[in-house]
Amino acid sequence: MATGSAERLHARFPILTHANHPLLRGGAWTFVGQLGAQSIALAANAIVGRVLGPAGFGLYSLAQTTGNTAATVAGYAPALVGTRAAAAARTSRVEAQDATRRTLRTAFFVGLLATAILVALSPRYANLVARSREALVVFGVASTLTLPLIWLSTCGALLAGFGAFRLFAIGRIISAPFAAALTVVGALTLGAPGALLGLLLGTAVIAAVAHSRVRRAIGLVPESDATIARTRTTIDPLLVPAALSSAASAPVIWICQTLLATHGGISSVAVIGASIVWGQALLLVPTSLNQALLAELAHAVTLPAGAARRVFLLGWNTAIVSILALLPLILLAAPLVMRLYGFEGASTTLAFRLVVGAYAVQGVTGSAIKVLESYGRIWIQLALNLVWAGVFIGLVLVWRSNGAVGFGSAALTSFLIHGTLVHLFAFRLVSRSNHDAHV
């Protein structure tokens, strides 16, 4: 009887038959870490919003986005290359050490370069969006946030490649409260500059813990009896297109927020900042899964044809189910969430729902993007990112008189167009792989 019930359950929910798949195990551990870290971050973000008020929180949000954007642009390429290199080095400690050394060296170099550029440009940008001494200090601190963010993302990518998701999850849960506490204390004592300074110190703590997790993960890789591979000195061929692809997409939200701030004032960005945080919270499962998905796809493309398609569909279906489970709840709770931040009005609620809806589309598209990355189709990804960027920025320019609602409408429209195009290419790749499996 129990066996029959289990069979019916698996027939109704096929994903349960894959519950022990490395992709879902890795995604589950990453989700645990992200859930612990994001829950604390959401609470801290709401407190900071209350403490700073619309103008102060708008400045804080824009400065945080500036640092995150620079870190994403500069850190995407080493993280992508690092995940692929670590996934290929799971069976040899020497190879694992070599992959880690090369990846972290690259991350440190691009982190320093990105920080230097941002420090040089931050005074002009601060004067553009808010002519005040506080803005100069806030954006100056945000500039230095770039390096620890890049280091953290690169360490996370390496741990995903090694399949050490449990180590990363535990590290995030342990270190996340430090960043939240320091951010809130900084906001209470020094306002927006203090909040950014607290966030900087907290991120540095999280990055240091993640680095210690990488060192431990290397120690768990078995020593291989194979001949020691020579150290690679050539640049990974995906490094340049990955950097260009990130540069074409990562700054877009920041650019659009800047356009909104210069048109409607820094306070108009506050609603967008709060909405983005909740949109990212909606994607806890897809984001967690995607870290494991890239590693497993990078491994699956080396297996017999058809393996990559099965891994992709498993990740894609899981992402859709998780988003559909949470999206209605967040949309219904939108008025309450806005009141928690001190924002009132139907327009703020609508803007919140539009931005969260855009992130839901992005979450579904994330699995398809990993297909392009695992197959090395980064130039295609670059072209699609340019299309998305052009549509998003163009629509914000057209609709920015509508404030946050115009931003949300532009975000949702551009993500829908981008998601459709990405899926067309991704399904073509995995379908071709499945066809080859039957030839």
374 and 399 part of one domain: yes
Distance in angstroms (rounded) separating the CA atoms of residues 112 and 75: 11
Q: Mention every residue, 6+ apart, whose C-beta is less than 8 A from residue 308.
A: 297, 300, 301, 371, 374, 375, 430, 433
The distance in angstroms from the start CA to the end CA of the chain is 41
326 and 199 part of one domain: no
Domain count, the chain: 2
- Residue 195 within a domain: yes
Amino acid at 81: V
200 and 251 part of one domain: no
231 and 357 part of one domain: no
**Residue after which a domain boundary falls, among 221, 236, 251:** 236
With beta carbons less than 8 A apart as the criterion, state whether 361 and 416 touch. yes
With beta carbons less than 8 A apart as the criterion, state whether 263 and 401 touch. yes
Distance in angstroms (rounded) separating the CA atoms of residues 418 and 178: 37
**Residue after which a domain boundary falls, among 236, 252, 267:** 236
Distance in angstroms (rounded) separating the CA atoms of residues 201 and 94: 33
DSSP H helical ranges for 283-333: 284-300, 307-332
- Residue 5 within a domain: no
- Residue 79 within a domain: yes
**Residue after which a domain boundary falls, among 210, 236, 262:** 236
Distance in angstroms (rounded) separating the CA atoms of residues 130 and 54: 14
- Residue 270 within a domain: yes
247 and 216 part of one domain: no
- Reference 295, options 437, 432, 170, 164; nearest CA is 164
Assign residue 53 a region: left if phi > 0, alpha if psi is -120 to 50, beta otherwise?
left
- Reference 27, options 316, 325, 308; nearest CA is 316
Tell me how long the chain is. 439
Q: Mention every residue, 6+ apart, whose C-beta is less than 8 A from residue 341.
A: 46, 49, 50, 57, 270, 274
- Residue 225 within a domain: yes
Distance in angstroms (rounded) separating the CA atoms of residues 34 and 57: 24
32 and 87 part of one domain: yes
210 and 251 part of one domain: no
- Residue 10 within a domain: no
Residue 109: domain span: 22-236
292 and 399 part of one domain: yes
Q: For position 23, what pLDDT does the model report?
A: 54
92 and 179 part of one domain: yes
- Residue 197 within a domain: yes
Q: For position 420, what pLDDT does the model report?
A: 95
Q: For position 34, what pLDDT does the model report?
A: 64
143 and 167 part of one domain: yes
What is the tens place of the pLDDT at every residue in 29-53? 566 666 666 677 777 888 888 888 8
Q: Mention every residue, 6+ apart, whose C-beta is less than 8 A from residue 427.
A: 368
46 and 163 part of one domain: yes
Helix (H, G, I), strand (E, B) or coil at 91: coil
- Residue 11 within a domain: no
28 and 97 part of one domain: yes
| Residue ranges in the chain whose pLDDT is less than 50 | 1-3, 5-19, 226-234, 434-439
